[in-house]
Amino acid sequence: MKIPLHCSRDQDKTPMLQTLHSIVQEVNAARGLDHALNIIVKRVAESTQVDVCSVYLVDPETQEYVLMATRGLNPDSVGRVRLRMDEGLVGLVGERKEPLNLENAEAHPRFRYFPETGEERFHSFLGAPIIHFRRLLGVLVVQQTARRRFGEEEVAFIVTMAAQLAGAIAHGEATGGTSLLAGHGAALGKRALNGVPGAPGVAMGRAMVAYSPADLFAVPDRPVRNVDKEIALFHAALDGVKQEVRDMADRLADAVPSDEHSLFDVYLKMLDSESLVHGTIQRIREGNWASGALRDSIAQHVSVFDEMEDPYLRERAGDIRDIGRRILMRLQLDSGDQRAVPKGTVLVGEEISASQLAEIPTDHLVGVVTTRGSGNSHVAILARALNIPAVMGVAELPVGRLDGKEIIVDGYAGRIHVEPGSAARKEYRRLLKEDAELSRELQVLKELPAETPCGYRMGLYANTGLMADITSSLASGCDGIGLHRTEFPFMVRERFPGEDEQTLVYRQVLEPFIPRKVVLRTLDVGGDKPLPYFPVREENPFLGWRGIRLTLDHPEIFLTQLRAMLRANAGCANLRVMFPMVSRMAEVDEAVALLERARDELQEEGVDVEMPEVGVMVEVPSAVYLADRLARKVDFVSIGSNDLTQYLLAVDRNNARVADLYDELHPAVLSAMDHVIKAVAPYDKPVTVCGAMAGDPAAAILLLGMGVQGLSMSVSSLLRVKWVIRSFSRSDARGLLARAWEMERPQDVRQMLNAALDEAGLGGLVRAGK
């Protein structure tokens, strides 16, 4: 059970923060939400010296408050006391979404008496709403016999505790942990968890948790099959670490003073401590495997040391963590990950590397979910190449509790369901069936042009990043590659790839598409795409050193890539070079000058190369207003809808807290794109759109109406968008665009476009939740 603690660990913490920190530590070690709630009501009652502390949670199925835990009321009333959303003082707190502090609660007109609770003797009432991302989850209440108003610090403490509790409840919901206490009625309803789309599609399967070696607190729970074997593995790992410590002590015996050398004796005593050894063995006997049992034992020890006032003793928590990591590494060496990968596996992790994904047989893998990362991360790119639905950045997901649980992955909406109810299963089975039927029906469009009924030809291009993308792109009937991300070969290596290596890679992209155009975007790293061997640590990486800024500052890297592109194009003559993250005219001048220099150098070396077409990505607001000037200097313009939306709306699309605010149909985004298209038009330079918007069938109607000449998207979206283009004339699209200009809310635009698709017989393209 994890809830984040939003306070510092300074020595001079206020008493309130010290108490809060202590409660959070206990809750983090709880076995589940029910246990966590009972810890909270007990500790809050003790800390505030009140007579009653209770938690009421909202049952989403019945829309009632349910008493879930209490300290001070009749414990038999837990799970039995229910209130309508507009009933009683608890209902009033929820309606107002603010604290309610009463000296004489029974005198309030909204007071509702429940005789089974035994609360008639309590007069003072303080309630605070439990809210998570604007969603009311319940109410935290404290009561006292004496008639008094609670003080300002008490109110602040209860409000803060309610805010912390919201995170614990959200995590409990993710694993189905919001059941009422045993024997007290039906479970509370489950809800979807939101992240960001990583790869389109829908999948249903069971979770397999991937975790980094020696990352102790990422270790998942897993049922033990052979208790004696697990205990033996734990003892062997323990003995191995003891020997490691003795060896280190011997090596450093003459190198460090005796006081510092005594640290090794402390380590050995920790490794022999009864609470660590016997506690872990007891947890194994209770059914958890050795690594999960060790994780809980170490967490318990760490929480004890974290609570100590003495700074020296508090720092010993780090020593405990180190011991835990060492034992875990031994366990992993001795046992390895010998899990079979069943069919229908959904790979789940805080972060999943491309290598971890590649280790899973593709015919057994149906989905990917991570708590961090974005639609541009390694694993998302690979998932798209493998046509595996993926959702990234599900921040609320308690990964360690998910191994073996049933999961639905909705890669279209960026949403997952854990242990879904029968209604969700039925709905997503229907969607899977419809998806399969639609994909089969769309195959007839593969060889047909993306041409409107009025004869306008729209270029449809594929986004690629891996060699695996090339085969599927060729088979899709696309008009070429509108965006090839060149950074992936940089990401999977432990050094910068050399010129010959890059030349070979780019040749393998260009050659199969002759004579169709292939756009190679120059290196775009930084932001959410760091290189492991070239770390860039910044306060705000999305507004920092990335894209063209980084490559211009490192001409030795940039020139190598440009030379490789030109060499790969020899004999192909279908290369287009595109510069990312352009925000100033000088960047275009400098980048083109380096490209010309690379051409001149190669020609001097006797290599027959030519100057390719050059374009820029318009993905930052400054470039929107430089569009006409950019058009004078380049051969084509590509609007990067993902970053442009993010920067215009000041919304990090990888941040689940604000993901709902990210919408490419926002009037400001549509206006910016329309401005670019109109500014470039007089120069007769083609404008394309790449990003999620280009692959969105509904948004494609508006882009057609604006006069975009090409759309570049994931291969899985190509035939769907082609169906739209072949179904709407330009005048139809302009009419819908005119209606969109009159709307203020993105959801209204979406609703209008979905209705238009449905009316045109394309209702199968309308995704639930869009």
Sorted by sequence, the CB contacts under 8 Å of residue 303 that are 6+ apart come out as: 25, 26, 28, 29
Sorted by sequence, the CB contacts under 8 Å of residue 584 that are 6+ apart come out as: 622, 626
Q: Which residues of 496-509 are buried (b: 16+ CB within 10 A; e: fewer)?
A: bbeeeebbebbbeb
Calculate the CA dihedral of residues 749, 750, 753, 757 and round it to 10 degrees.
Answer: -170
What is the distance between the alpha carbons of residues 434 and 601, in angstroms, rounded to a whole number? 55
512: nearest Cα among 451, 464, 558: 464
DSSP 523: P
DSSP 681: G
Show the beta-strand stretches assigned E in 167-223: 193-194, 196-199, 202-209
DSSP 186: P
Show the beta-strand stretches assigned E in 173-278: 193-194, 196-199, 202-209
Known catalytic residue: 378?
yes
- Whats the size of the chain, residue-wise? 770
Quick check: 248 and 264 in contact, CB under 8 A?
yes
What is the distance between the alpha carbons of residues 348 and 184, in angstroms, rounded to a whole number? 32
At 448, list the tokens.
Answer: 């047909």
Question: What is the end-to-end Cα distance of the chain in Å, rounded?
Answer: 32
350: nearest Cα among 368, 363, 331: 368
What is the distance between the alpha carbons of residues 106 and 121, in angstroms, rounded to a whole number? 10
What is the distance between the alpha carbons of residues 708 and 346, in angstroms, rounded to a whole number? 38
Q: How many CB atoms lie within 10 A of CB 275?
A: 13
Residue 92 Cα to chain centre, angstroms: 35
What is the distance between the alpha carbons of residues 755 and 770, in angstroms, rounded to a whole number? 12
Strands lying side by side in the sheet with 100-102: 82-84, 64-71, 52-59, 135-144, 124-132, 100-102
Question: Could you say which of 378, 417, 484, 666 is catalytic?
Answer: 378
720: nearest Cα among 482, 457, 375, 441: 441
- DSSP assignment of 97-129, as one string? TS-EEESSGGGSTT----GGGT-TT--EEEEEE
Sorted by sequence, the CB contacts under 8 Å of residue 755 that are 6+ apart come out as: none
Q: 């993010």: which residue's tokens?
A: 646
What is the distance between the alpha carbons of residues 408 and 406, in angstroms, rounded to a whole number? 7
Question: Could you say which of 53, 478, 572, 690 is catalytic?
Answer: 690
Calculate the CA dihedral of residues 462, 466, 470, 473 and round it to 10 degrees.
Answer: -30
- DSSP assignment of 331-380, as one string? HHHHH-------TTEEEEESS--HHHHHTS-TTTEEEEEESS--TTSHHH
Phi, psi angles (nearest 5°) of residue 766: -80, 110
At 645, list the tokens.
Answer: 């939306």
Query: In angstroms, what CA-CA distances link 131 with 16, 66, 137, 172?
Result: 21, 16, 6, 14
Q: Which residues are the active-site residues? A: 378, 690
